[in-house]
Amino acid sequence: MARYCSSAACILFILERCNLSFTWNEQSVDASLKAVKNQGIEWSVDRFVLAEGVISASGWCGSIRGQVISELNILLVFADEEEEKVALETGKSRLDVLALYPVLGRYSGFFVHRGIRRRDKPVSVSLSMTLEDGLYLRAPIPYYADVRHREKAVSKLALLRHYADRLFFHFARGNWRLIWNRLLQHVPALMATRVGNKTLVEILTNLPGDMVLIVDHALGGGANYYREKRVSILLEQGRTVLLWQFSPVTLSFQLQIFRPEERSELFQVEREAWVELADCSQIIEVIFNNCVSYPDPEQVPDMFAAFLGHKRVRFTFLVHDFFSVCPSHFLLDYRRKHCGIPDIEVCRACLPHIEDGLVSMYQSRDIDLWRARWGSVLEKADEVVCFSENTRGLLLRAYPRLSNRVITVKPHSVAYLSGNYRYPVAREPLKVAVVGDINFHKGSEVFVTLVEAARHQNIAMEFLVVGTLNANSKPGGIEETGPYQRDKLGDILTRHQVHMGLMLSICPETFSYVTHELIKLQVPLFSFAIGAQGNAVSAYELGFVHPLVESMELLSILLEFKERLDTMLLGKEACHQ
C-alpha cells in the first residue's frame, strides 16, 4: 500500500494546485487494490492532473504473471453516475520499473494528455483494465475513491520523496542528461508563483516599452528549440520578452518574463490574464510560435484580436506545424494516415472520428469554424513565416485566399552542429538508424514492422535508435541510446557503424532539424517522399526517397540503397587514397 500512497501523494499535490479536494473510503480502496493484486497486476499512477477540461496522467502497469492487458484506461465517474473512459497511450519506456520488476519489461509505462467532455469534478477516478481473458478490473486511485466518507490530507513532503526516488534511480545510473532535462521540464512549472490579475497589472506596468510577446506550447521539440534561440537573440538586443504558455505539468497558463542580464520570472496565471496583456501598451511585437495542447484551442484566434491590425503592434505567425489547418496538426486522418489536405467535405466527415488526444481538446470538431477562425488570423498577420516551400504549398491548399499575400519561407539553420561521421564501407550487415524521439507520427510503427519483417525473412540487418523509441510493442535486438547531445550525433553514428539514417515520418514535417543535421554530417539518408523532409532528401547526393510502402518492400529498397552507397562511397574512398 505504501507504494500506491506515494504515487497518490504526487497526484494529490498537483491536483491541489488546481483547487480540487480529495476524499476516499479506505475499505473500498483496499478491497479494489487487493483484487488487482490477486491477479498479479502491479501498477502506479505517478502523476495525475485534471484542470481546464484536460486530463494529463502518467504511470505504469503490467502483469507479473505474463497476462496481456488488452485495454487500459482511466475511468472518471461523475455525481450523476455518468462515466467517461479515457484511453491511455501504452508502451512507454520505464527503466525504473524494469529494475524493480524485470518480468514487466522495459515498456510498461503509460501516458495520456487529452481533453474531456465534462468540466465538473468527478466523484471518483480509477485505473481500469481488461485482461486478455476478458476479466475487468478497477483500481481506484487512492485519495480519490467512489464513496467519500473520510478526508485525508497529504503534505508536499510525500511528493518530494516520490521525485527523490526517481532522481536517485537515474543518478545511480549516470543518466545526467535525462535528469537535467526532466528538472528543466517539471520543476519550474511546479514552482511558478501564482498571481492574480491585479498583481499582474502592477508587474507589467513596471516593464519597458518595447516588449515582445511570444505564444508557445511547452511540449519540447523543434518549435521550442527555435523559440529558445529567438528569445536569446531578443535578449542580446536588449529587449524584454513575455512568454505565454500552457503547462502540461500543472495544466495551467503561465507567463514567463525574460529581462536582459536578469533571471527570468515565472508566474502561474488564469486564462483571463490574457486581457491584461492585450491592454498592455508596452507590447509592440507578438510572435505566434505554437499552441498545440492548449485547452479550447478554437478560442486562441479570438485572443489575438486586440493585436491584429493594430498599428503599434507587429504580429508574426510562424508555421511550425499544421495546427492552423486542422486540429490534427500532423495532418493524420481518422485512419492515422496522411490526408494530404483533401476537399473540405472529406474533412467534415473525418475530424469527428479522430481519436488523437490533442485533437480531443477541440470538442466541437467543426472544421469550418476552425478554418474560419484561424484563416482570419493568417490573413491579418503582418507576416506569415513557413520553414519550407512544401509547408507553404500545403498551407495555400487549405487557405487559397492567402495566395494574394507574401508568405515568407525561411529555412532554419543548422550551423550550430559540429562533429563528423564516417561511412563503414567494408562492414556487413546493413545497419540503419532512426534519430530523435520516435513516436507514431515519426514512424515508430513503421520502424518496428521493419525490424519484424527483417527477422521474418531471416535478413541479416541491425537496428539502432539514437534517442527514444515509443511504440506499443518492440521486438528484441533494437539498440536504443536514450537522450543524446546533438554535437555527439556524428560520433554516435560512426561508433555504431551505421550505414544510413531513416526518416520514417508518415506525415509532412515543416522543416525537420534531424533531416538537415544528418545531411550536414553527410550521413546517407532514406526518407518517404512526403513533406519538407522528403524534399530535402531528394535534393541530397546521398539521399533516397520513395513513396510510402509496406515494410517488406521497404526492406528491399534499403538493401538496394546500401549496394549503391557501397559502390559510390568505396569509389570516393579509393580516390582519396
The CA-CA-CA angle for residues 476, 446, 450, to 5°, reads 50
Query: Among residues 73, 16, 8, 91, which one has the least CA distance to residue 46?
Result: 8
- Three-state DSSP at 266 gives strand
**The amino acid at 270:** E
Confidence bin at 227 (pLDDT 50/70/90) = very high
Quick one: how far is CA 386 from the chain centroid?
Answer: 21
Q: Where are the beta strands (DSSP E) in 36-82?
A: 41-51, 54-63, 69-77
User: Does residue 159 carry a pLDDT above 60?
Assistant: no
Closest CA to 254 of 181, 188, 323: 188
pLDDT of residue 75: 93
User: Residue 53: is its pLDDT beyond 80?
Assistant: yes
pLDDT band at residue 1, thresholds of 50, 70 and 90?
very low
Percentage with pLDDT > 70 across the chain: 85
In the prediction, which pLDDT does 39 show? 87
**Number of neighbouring beta carbons within 10 Å of residue 368:** 10
pLDDT at 508 over 60: yes
pLDDT score for 171: 67
Tell me the C-alpha distance between 475 and 456, whole Å: 11
What pLDDT, on a 0 to 100 scale, did the predictor assign at position 555? 94
Nearest to 239 by CA among 209, 197, 278, 272: 209
29 — pLDDT class (breaks 50, 70, 90) = low
Per-residue confidence band for 179, with pLDDT thresholds at 50, 70 and 90: low
Distance between CA atoms of residues 474 and 455, nearest Å: 13
Q: Give alpha helix (H) positions in 131-265.
A: 156-172, 176-190, 197-205, 222-236
Decide: 48 and 125 in contact? Cβ < 8 Å: yes
Which single residue is written with the C-alpha cell 528538472? 183
Beta strands (DSSP E) in 511-565 are 525-528, 543-546
Phi, psi of 301 (to 5 degrees): -55, -35
Question: Buried b / exposed e across 115-134, counting CB within 10 Å, b at 16+?
Answer: bbeeeebbbbbbbbbebeee
- Burial string for 294-305 (b: 16+ CB within 10 Å, else e) reads bbebbebbebbe
R_g (Cα) of the chain, nearest Å: 25
Q: Are 158 and 6 in contact (CB under 8 A)?
A: yes
Peptide bond into 429 cis (omega under 30): yes
pLDDT at position 475, please?
86
Q: Which grid cell is 467?
A: 534517442
Asked if 353 contacts 327 with a C-beta cutoff of 8 angstroms, the reply is no
E-strand spans in 259-311?
Answer: 265-269, 283-288
Judged by DSSP in three states, 488 sits in: helix
pLDDT at site 545? 97
* pLDDT bucket at 497, cuts 50 / 70 / 90: very high
Largest CA distance in the chain: 82
The type of residue at 373 is: R
Q: What are the pLDDT digits (tens) for 90-106?
A: 888 787 788 888 998 87
What does the DSSP 8-state code read for residue 455? H
Range in 37-51, 77-91, 269-283, 332-346 with the lowest mean pLDDT: 37-51
Residue 444 has pLDDT above 90, yes or no: yes
Per the listing, cell 507589467 goes with: 204
Distance CA 255, CA 236 (A): 20
| Count of alpha carbons within 13 angstroms of residue 104, beta-carbon side | 27
**The pLDDT of residue 203:** 95
Q: What is the C-alpha to C-alpha distance for residues 1 and 21, in angstroms, rounded to an integer?
A: 21
Q: Which of 149-163, 212-226, 389-403, 484-498 has the lowest mean pLDDT?
A: 149-163
pLDDT digits (tens, 9 = 90+) for 329-382: 999 999 999 999 999 999 999 999 998 889 999 989 999 999 999 999 999 999
Write phi, then psi, for 348 (nearest 5 degrees): -60, -35
- Greater model confidence, 191 or 401: 401
HSE-up (13 A, CA, CB side) for residue 193:
12
pLDDT of residue 175: 61
Judged by DSSP in three states, 344 sits in helix
pLDDT range class, residue 454, cuts 50, 70, 90: very high
- Residue 175 DSSP code: -
Give the confidence band of 525 by pLDDT, cuts at 50, 70, 90. Answer: very high
Average pLDDT, the chain: 86
Q: Supply the DSSP string of 314-325, one letter for each residue.
A: EEEEEESSSTTT
Tell me, what's the pLDDT at 276? 95
Judge whether residue 551 has pLDDT over 90: no
Q: How many residues does the chain have?
A: 577
Q: Would you place residue 17 in the very low, low, confident or very high pLDDT band (cuts 50, 70, 90)?
A: very low
